[in-house]
Amino acid sequence: MGAGGDEVDVHDISPMAWRLLRVAAGYSQRDVEKQLDDIMQAHISMLESDTRSLSDDRLQQLFDIYRPNLTDEQIDALVVNF
């Protein structure tokens, strides 16, 4: 990968990687709920447990929240390995 998030396709991020990205970025599910309008903690939980996906726009918004708090190496490691 090596793109550090700039070229990450949010559809290629696994449920476990979504959870690890959130935790590594320093967010709880409740924190995410506060950051994005019309998203609930349950939506994040379902995404991370692979029982529901989010719209393309929501996935990108979620990734955009996490990205500034992570290094390129962290993003690569989590998305590629999980």
In contact, 71 and 45? CB cutoff 8 Å: no
Euclidean distance between CA atoms 80 and 29, whole angstroms? 22
Please determine, for residue 3, whether its predicted confidence score (pLDDT) is greater than 60: no
- pLDDT at site 5: 58
- pLDDT at site 4: 57
pLDDT bin (cut points 50, 70, 90) of residue 65 is very high
**Global confidence as pTM:** 0.89
Q: What burial letters (b/e) apply to 29-66, b meaning 16+ CB within 10 Å?
A: beebbeebeebeeebbeebbeeeeebeeebbebbbebb
CATH 1.10.260 matches 10-81? yes
- pLDDT at site 53: 86
Q: 19-53 pLDDT, tens per residue?
A: 999 999 999 999 999 999 888 899 999 999 999 88
